[in-house]
Amino acid sequence: MSQIGLVVHPSRAIDGPLDALKRWAGGREVSVVQVRDSGQRRQVAVEGDGADCDVIVSIGGDGTTLAALRAGARAGRPVLGVACGSLGVLTAVAAHGIDGALERFSGGDWVPRPLPALDITGGGTRARFALNDAAIVRGGGGQLRLAASIDGILFARLAGDGCVVSTPIGSSAYALAAGGPLLTPDAEAFLLTPLPTHGGYHPPLVVSSTSTVELEVRGGYGGSRLEMDGQVVENELERLKVEYRPAAATLVGFVDQEPFLTGLRRRNILTDSPRILAERDPEAGRD
């Protein structure tokens, strides 16, 4: 390697892994630059172009890794996610393992994990992409009216808080909290999950990767807004088109890292039935 790009958490304590990365790079005459991102307010290295880097390293959590993946997608570079805190869905290694992960990447001992994106166009919004999800939500008081169609065929008209369109990785985030199903990371599909509504029946819908979701939006007196990967990007929407884009970004993975479902169980996002837990540990839950 000749250059490493950095994207860092804006406030979390990152001195340990950051110092380890710089020591590793300094010992191998590898330069370190900070890659520009709209959310970067913390300067830890000179600014550089992601396209000139061999790898972009995120130090923080899944949100920081999403920012790095957006930069990596634009630059065509892989992203190594380093967790400061608990390991998330997108972070491959814990903070104390950053030097070992860099050594493995440098030696070619890594697995590329291609991640899809959602291309969002239409209405007044310029073309954008989301790697986790796009949420169309009410901007304040009053219900949002929304009509969702798949390949020109009406799925549902609903009044309520809005909806979330998610990639497979994003299915374990906002969509899951809203009652949507999980998609495994390698599923070639995406997900439309209605948020709480005023009556009606419109379950979460798994959409083929070859299909197009069209959303017609009419906000209440509080208006509407579009959130992509957790960031508000536009207000007062009217019409959006969402399409699946395969292999939009590349995440650095390792053959021995924690599997997706195991990580969700460790973080208690997936939990066993209380009866099963009681059978395994009869003393659990007793006063």
Tokens for 87, please give them: 């390991």
DSSP 117-165: EEEEEETTEEEEEESSEEEEEE-SSSPEEEEEEETTEEEEEEEESEEEE
Q: What's the farthest any 2 CA atoms get from each other in the chain?
A: 62
62 is a catalytic site residue: yes
The catalytic residue among 15, 19, 62, 161 is 62
User: In the 8-state DSSP scheme, what is residue 96?
Assistant: G
d(CA 208, CA 188): 7
DSSP 224-251: EEEEETTEEEEES--EEEEEEEEEEEEE
What is the set of active-site residues?
A: 62
